[in-house]
Homo-oligomer: A and B are copies of this chain.
Amino acid sequence: MEITIGMFGFGKTGAIVAKEVLKDEQCVLKWIIRKTDTKEGEYASHLFGFEHDEGRIYSSDKIDHKTFYKENPVDVIIDFSSVNALQNHKYLAEEGIKIVSAISKYEPEHLEKLKKLGEKTAVLYSPNITLGINFLIEASKVLKKIIPNADIEIVEEHFRGKKETSGTAIRIAEYLELDKEKQVNSIRVGGIVGKHEVIFGLPNQTIRIVHESISRDAFGQGAIYAAKWIIDKNRGIFSMEEALALNFAKKPEKSLK
């Protein structure tokens, strides 16, 4: 089944995600709406060396958002733009277009707006939409339920220049109810792109779940997974963790039956 995609944002990460969508067999990138008018009217497909026309680029200021989505319908939009794009999401909801939002800087009030949108259409929100990180989070939560008495610590390694503690590590610490000061260990050396390790210690065994980032392209794969997952939801607001968690339950293993 073909899935038609619209995108908000064509910055560094947005472009990487667009490329992944173009490469995906099931997805068709109908259009991209960006803030500036650079490359306006061109097709993203050409910028990535494809022959065919796919992913026409529009400038947000030069289209009428009230009518655009009715005239250019898609199944799902993937938002890698900025907080501002949120103001036009209501027009998406009216058309029943599903929303995959990967904005990292949302404040509580923005999340409130997203929830409202969830009453009209299906919205998936994730500040770090890579599959690996979200699997790490979900699997860690499950493991904590299985072995509540385990001691848990997080080690995150990043390039020397990264000043603050990894936001992802802090988020994991919150989910696992850890002491962010004592149980999150930050290593800052050289050019490590990004590594997150959650260590579960029991008296007689140690379990480690490790995620190593190689490049930002990972965001594209995560966004596509989210788009394919949300396509058959009607309304409600979901998290990437849910997209993976529900997947866990889908077919319970019956290894002996």
Contact = CB atoms under 8 A, between A and B. Distances in A.
Given A206-B212, A214-B206, A160 B155 contact: no
Q: Majority SS of interface residues in chain A?
A: mixed
A213 B204 contact: yes
A49 interface: no
B193 A125 contact: no
A170 interface: no
Interface in A212-246: 212-218, 221, 225, 237-239, 241-242, 244-246
Given A142-B139, A155-B185, A247-B146, A190 B211 contact: no
Given A206-B212, A209-B210, A246-B252, 19 more contacts: A115-B256, A131-B202, A135-B147, A139-B143, A147-B221, A150-B189, A151-B188, A151-B190, A152-B189, A153-B189, A159-B201, A160-B201, A185-B187, A190-B203, A191-B203, A204-B213, A204-B215, A205-B212, A206-B210
